[in-house]
Amino acid sequence: MFATYVEHFLLPALRPGQVVVVDNVGAHKPDRIRALVEAAGCLLVFLPAYSPDLSPVEEANSSLKTLIRAANARTRAALDAAIAAALAAVTTADAAG
């Protein structure tokens, strides 16, 4: 499906010399994708693999997940309340990462 998207939607919009940046996932890696992009005179570049150690939002996300799991909510109302409480507990330092 990704190759079809590249061929029919992305390539017609590209100009030679442009850089196409894609996620580092298997669907983006077949040789055909690179061949299509390079045939259009463009460069294909993959984003680095995801690393939570390099993501500043992970500190806040980790706090949220821990608090929500600790609430052990079993109903929609309880889950909504747990999410609200967890969001209120995230500090400025957490958000700044």
| pLDDT above 80: residue 97 | no
Q: What is the DSSP letter of 22?
A: E
Give the separation between CA 93 and CA 90, rounded to whole angstroms: 8
* Coil/strand/helix, residue 42: coil
Quote the CA–CA distance of 97 and 76 in Å, as a whole number.
29
pLDDT tens digit sequence for 45-64: 988 877 666 677 777 788 88
The pLDDT tens digits of the residues spanning 32-48 come to 999 999 999 999 998 88
- Average pLDDT of the segment spanning 13-36: 90
What is the C-alpha to C-alpha distance for residues 17 and 42, in angstroms, rounded to an integer? 5
The pLDDT > 70 percentage for the chain reads: 91
